[in-house]
Amino acid sequence: MANLVVIGAQWGDEGKGKFVDLLSEEADVVVRFGGGNNAGHTLVVQGNRLVLHLIPSGVLQPRTQVVLGDGMVVDPACLLEEMDHLQQAGIDLGPRDLLLGSKAHLILPHHRQLDALREGGPGALGTTRRGVGPAYEDKAARRGIRALDLLRPERLERLVVASVAQASKRIELLGGTPVDGGALMEQLRQQATRLGPHIVDVSLLLHEAASSGRRILFEGAQGVLLDLDHGTYPFVTSSTTLAGGACAGAGFAPHLIDGVVGVAKAYVTRVGDGPFPSELTGVVGEDLRRKGGEFGSTTGRPRRCGWLDLVALRYAVRVGGIRRLAMTKLDVLGDLGALQVCVAYDVGGRRVEHFPCDPDDLARAQPVLEPVEGFIGDISRATAFGELPRAAREYVERVERECGLPVEWVSVGPGREQTLIRRAQSL
């Protein structure tokens, strides 16, 4: 095996970072291929907690190169801040350690401002307000500014003037104060000096890496149900979160991808607005939030919690291209009493077993829940799958049957050692 993609199989926050961190031990290159600093994962470096939003989880592996792919939208200020924080923690990322895709689009202050202004008004989607949507809008409208433009001061200035003028009209309409283009240009010049040496042709880099037998791990952001095309539109992010996104976003050939791991929590969470058929709004939902520490690592928002939704998970396996599953936070379900899983939806009196495409159907979908035996006790110290209580093992096996895929890893806590590996597998 060489090249692996890891994606989220729900609405994000499934714990992908832990698996990328684990699998990156065997990887030579770790690549993010979509999204921006709307994502977030926590690292512990020498006892210090560090939240990264852009730089891939593999950054702690000494010999691993980390890459921000062309499909991403990158806020240069955020990237430099993360590099500084890592440097303070003793991790110095030189131009060979951290690479930025030359074709990645930039998130600039006016994108953040537009995102926040829109979220303050009617039609808010519950975004992370990091400017991700507006930056992708500019990309699709073919007026975006890319990392490679940082290397061409004259072109950069022309593009910045046009971009600021365009955004200013929209900002004023929403009651905001337009950004100062001159100050932005000055900021970008300084950022370009630092980021310039990191900017590369990622597709070429990955092609050469793969040709010389180096192993590449693609780190997805968000989850399948937030995918721009196949998620719960319009309550989605603005990028591709599916395994196929790794090819498009990194300029990498599909035939060179050897495996796709989907990471799913043992229950479901969602931040932001939008349909969530198996959501629990009562005491059990609160228990899950408290026990699972379900607060967003990017925005700190409490996450909505619900029972494991097998309809949505089967859909994520299908459209996401998932071939192997990792289940996280099984320990959180311990001592919760009787459990339930969502096996179908009731849409206007009709039993539906496939995830509906129509937003109205999805909005009125009621979960068809099946009771599942709960398990008692703290399983977070288990060191092998066989040590888990029978009911916990059966819960995992039920998911395997429903999805027709092996659950190869079961996570029972945040630590690396709290990962139960079920089958002999290698990267």
Q: Is residue 198 packed enough to be buried (19+ CB in 10 Å), middle (13-18) or exposed (0-12)?
A: buried
Residue 47-86 contact track with ligand IMP, rule CB under 6 A, x = bound: ----------------------------------------
Distance from C-alpha of 367 to C-alpha of 274, rounded to nearest angstrom: 15
Candidate residues 27, 99, 226, 412; the one interacting with ligand IMP per rule CB under 6 A: 226
Question: Which one of 28, 41, 115, 331 is the catalytic residue?
Answer: 41
Q: Which residue, 375, 352, 372, is CA-closest to 364?
A: 352
DSSP state of 372: E
Judged by beta carbon, residue 105 or residue 198, the one nearer ligand IMP is: 105
DSSP designation for 14: S
Tell me the residue nearest to ligand IMP as measured from the CB.
Answer: 272
Query: Distance between terminal CA atoms of the chain?
Result: 6
> Two tokens at 401?
């049957």
How many residues are present in the chain? Answer: 427
Residue 13 annotated as catalytic: yes
Amino acid at 46: Q
* Footprint of ligand IMP on 228-247 (CB under 6 A): 235, 237-238
User: Total residues contacting ligand IMP (rule CB under 6 A)?
Assistant: 20
Q: Which is nearer to ligand IMP, 130 or 324 (CB)?
A: 130
Establish if 159 lies at the interface with ligand IMP (CB under 6 A). no
* Contacting ligand IMP within 262-321 (CB under 6 A): 271-272
d(CA 415, CA 181): 46
Please tell me whether residue 132 binds ligand IMP under the rule CB under 6 A.
yes
Among 12, 15, 17, 69, binds ligand IMP (CB under 6 A): 12
Question: CB–CB of 2/258 below 8 Å?
Answer: yes
* Residue 235 Cβ vs ligand IMP, minimum distance, rounded to whole Å: 6
Looking at 130-138, 148-156, 173-181, 194-202, which segment touches ligand IMP (CB under 6 A)? 130-138
Our answer to whether residue 41 is catalytic in this structure is yes
Cβ(420)–Cβ(410) below 8 Å: yes
Question: Segment near ligand IMP (CB under 6 A), from 128-136, 147-155, 327-335, 346-354?
Answer: 128-136
Nearest in space to 325 (alpha carbons), one of 340, 304, 308 = 308
Contact 352, 304 (CB under 8 A): no
In the set 57, 102, 222, 328, which binds ligand IMP (CB under 6 A)?
Answer: 222
Least distance (Å) from ligand IMP to the CB of residue 305? 13
Cβ distance 214 to 65 under 8 Å?
no
Residues that bind ligand IMP (CB under 6 A): 11-13, 38-39, 125-128, 130, 132-133, 221-222, 226, 235, 237-238, 271-272
